[in-house]
Amino acid sequence: MRKWLFHFIIVSLFLWSGLTLVHAADRGEIHSGETKIGLEIVAPSYKDTWTFYGNAGDRVLISAEKTSGSLWPKIKLYPPDNGPCEASAYEYLDHQLEQPGLYTIVIEDHMLNDEGTYNISLLKIPGALNSPEDPDGGAIASGQTLAPGGTINCASDMDAFQFYGEVGDRVIISAEKTSGSLWPKIKLYPPDNGPCEASAYEYLDHQLEQPGLYTIVIEDHMLNDEGTYNISLTKIPPDLRPGIYNPYPPNGAFVININGSFRWDPVAEATGYDLYFGEDVVQPLTKIGDNLPSPSMPFPKLERGKIYYWHVVAKRPDGDIQGPYWWFLVTPTGGKPMPWLYLLLGE
């Protein structure tokens, strides 16, 4: 009798442990520019995990918004070497990575005593600014007004825009709400991926402190409202600063012809270009073009139905120029879900 009872207890504990692991969900990969919605912490002790690849010095913005229940989401970020938690915060984490490799985000209730649902958003600088599910964001030029500029689809959502600047340039950025309860907050991140260089509500007037690719982040002021907005950029002087412009395929393109080529505008005084390419989730982009003599390169082998990311670095005697991170979707054979967005390469 005792032996039977012992085995019953052991099996019960094993089954209970297995059920617990089912709910302690490994949600998998999350890309920069993505928002995952409708996620559930089903019991107080359960946790969700998400993974992404980062390099030392990258800046990550992670937002976790409660959508139901009494959950108060706590964000914990664990490094690739499996060491102690590298950074943590409630609902919103702004952190510069200390190591290269695969990072793990843990989402849990702040006191492990409440349940609920949440959304999570990730933005990595440098990294993709948007995703197929949330295409808002991208390049913006001086004198340009994007109307509509974008939509903060849920309270955790962050939209990002980029432009090249020079030390001493003055930038005037306005973000105007056009619908919903959104109160747009503007945050400006510098090219070295350091902390936010300047921030303001709706209107930012700032003199740049660094040369290179700046990132504008638009979010709700308290991360609790949604809505649409327009965004405008004025840079003084309006000169187009050195950078990687007019990528082909464009960011977010739907690519049919898998035998096409990457192309971009030549950079003055560039001695060559490095091209990085890959799926950009569990490992870094691979350098597939090393010191290319011209601003183009044929595609490597592409698989239909996959999303790929790419990035160009221009080599100049006065220092490298980093390009944005772009993505494109290779369409499945015969699949045309959004025909007006397709890019027919090679024609």
Listed by start position, the domains of the chain span 25-125, 138-236, 253-343
- 76 Cβ neighbours under 8 A, 6+ residues apart: 85, 87, 88, 105, 106, 107, 108
Element (H, E) at 254: strand 253-255
Is residue 148 reached through a cis peptide bond, with omega within 30 degrees of 0 on the bond before it?
yes
User: What's the CATH code, domain 253-343?
Assistant: 2.60.40.10
The answer to which of 82-91, 196-205, 282-291, 326-335 has the lowest mean pLDDT is 326-335
Q: What are the pLDDT digits (tens) for 245-258? A: 999 999 999 999 99
Domain spanning 25-125, CATH class? mainly beta
DSSP string, 294-334: SSEEE-----TT-EEEEEEEEE-TT--EEEEEEEEEEPPTT
Q: Whole-prediction pTM value?
A: 0.88
pLDDT of 340 strictly over 80: no
Average pLDDT over all residues of the chain: 89
Q: What are the pLDDT digits (tens) for 199-218? A: 999 999 999 999 999 999 99
- 14 Cβ neighbours under 8 A, 6+ residues apart: none
Q: What are the pLDDT digits (tens) for 254-277? A: 999 999 999 999 999 999 999 999
User: What's the CATH code, domain 138-236?
Assistant: 2.60.120.380
**Equal fold, 25-125 vs 138-236:** yes
User: What letter does residue 347 receive in the DSSP assignment?
Assistant: -
